[in-house]
Amino acid sequence: MLFARKFMHGLGVLWGALTLVFLLFSMVPDPARELAGQNEREEVVQAIREKHGLNDALHVRYARFFCGFMPISHTSEGFAWTGIDLGRSFVTDRDVAESVFQALPPTLLLAMLAMCLALLIGIAVGLLLAHSMGSWWDRWVLGFAALGMSAPSFVMAILVSWFFGSVCHAWTGLSMTGGLWEVDPFGGPKLSWKNAILPALTLGVRPLSVVLQLTRNSAAEVLASSYVRTAKSKGLSPIRIVIRHTLRNALNPVITAASGWFASMLAGAVFVEYVFGWQGLGMLMFRALERSDLPMVMGCVSAVALTFVLINVLVDQVYRILDPRVRTS
């Protein structure tokens, strides 16, 4: 019952986000004229409007936009699976849904690698700092974490690409740019996992700083609690106290931050993917914005909004596993 309520709440948030996206892009003045050019004949501009349904009323375009998210539609032979239809690109005439689905997996891979890096290092270092609060290395690490949290993604991307891909290329063997797939003239396309290291490192810097500070502060509160003192008095080993008592009770704020940062990384990947030449959703969105390709931009933003809602619904279920108090409320 609780899952159904959370899911319906997520659908409401998704509906609001998609409606806002539609209304914002509906305010763009005459995209057909911009596509055709200011000096193009009115007949050509009118043909573009007719092709993309821009002459239809606002409520008709709104209904068509939302109906495109329904993979099942009514045909002359009854209900049939027609797939998601988000329209066609203004520039390339490609199917928007197909382009988004092709670009989304590399971006999700990049975001998952960055988040795994942030969680593994951030939780481990945060637990260590919680046991040595006030020390000199605690202050130094917090200072670097504040620096990493305040640095914009595009600045960090340029610095990381230049330092590891150019200055230290002889030692790292990493390139400044490159996608998940590389074309070998003799062997054809092949996966290149090393190209994901630098963009994942760049995306993971800011969530790493947040996770580190949250874990440190939350673990420090847990370590000062009465049940941890009782566990110490019973003679439990420090490792067992950390794993069984400290870690589990300190993870709730970390999970909240991780879910929010994972979704924000999909939006923040625009600049990072552009700097590193990573062919994902961010690069697709950047090119669509550059060419005023409104259906493609709306498709990319809708994919980010849908991912954000699904992650939040999943995180609510993780809460129920980690904290029994949430399970019974």
Backbone φ, ψ for residue 88 (5° rounding): -120, 155
Q: Which CATH class is domain 96-328?
A: mainly alpha
Rounded CA-CA distance 149/161 in Å is: 18
The model's pTM: 0.80
Which of 28, 63, 30 is closest to 46 using CA atoms? Answer: 30
Q: Give the pLDDT confidence score for residue 5 in this predicted structure.
A: 74
> In this structure, are residues 269 and 70 in contact, taking their beta carbons and an 8 Å threshold?
no
User: Quick count: other Cβ atoms within 10 Å of Cβ 181?
Assistant: 13
Q: Give the pLDDT confidence score for residue 1 in this predicted structure.
A: 56
Tens of pLDDT, residue by residue over 159-190, are 888 888 888 888 888 888 888 777 777 766 77
What average pLDDT score do residues 118-146 get? Answer: 86
User: Quick count: other Cβ atoms within 10 Å of Cβ 63?
Assistant: 12
Tens of pLDDT, residue by residue over 188-209, are 677 778 888 899 889 888 888 8
Q: Give the pLDDT confidence score for residue 77 in this predicted structure.
A: 67
Q: Where are the domains of the chain?
A: 2-81, 96-328
> In this structure, are residues 115 and 204 in contact, taking their beta carbons and an 8 Å threshold?
yes
Residue 145 has pLDDT above 80, yes or no: yes
- For residue 79, the cross-strand partners are 74
pLDDT top residue among 167 and 266: 167
- 69-79 core/surface letters (b: 16 or more CB in 10 A; e: else): eeeeeeeeeee
